[in-house]
Amino acid sequence: MLEQDDHHFRYHYQLGFYNADGEWLDKPIPKKHQVEVERTLNRFYKLISDKLTALECQLVPAEQVTNELSVTAA
């Protein structure tokens, strides 16, 4: 989620996955998917950071997010 505050966009995200019934589970990512989720998250972070920089805006983590983009495996 992104929230705008002047020339800053604060982000936070929730890691988890959808089960077979389509219900969101707020659980650690299964180990077999950890590398791909982390790769996708880092790629998205770079793309959105570059776009916001071009607009003279900054991307900053919300208070509940650490600066480190890491995925914890189950």
How do residues 26-74 score in pLDDT, each as one tens digit?
A: 888 889 999 999 999 899 889 999 999 999 998 888 877 654 445 554 5
Assigned domain for 12 exists:
yes
Assigned domain for 8 exists:
yes
Domain of residue 35, residue span: 2-61
pLDDT for res 63? 76
CATH assignment at residue 47 = 3.30.310.230
Assigned domain for 69 exists:
no
Long-range contacts at 15-18 (CB < 8 A, ≥ 24 apart): 15/71, 15/72
Q: Which tokens hold the place of 70?
A: 């890491």
Q: What is the pTM of this model?
A: 0.65
Backbone angles phi, psi at 54, to 5 degrees: -60, -30
Assigned domain for 73 exists:
no
Assigned domain for 6 exists:
yes
Assigned domain for 74 exists:
no
Amino acid at the residue 47:
L
Q: How many domains does the chain have?
A: 1
Position 15 confidence tier, pLDDT thresholds 50, 70, 90: confident
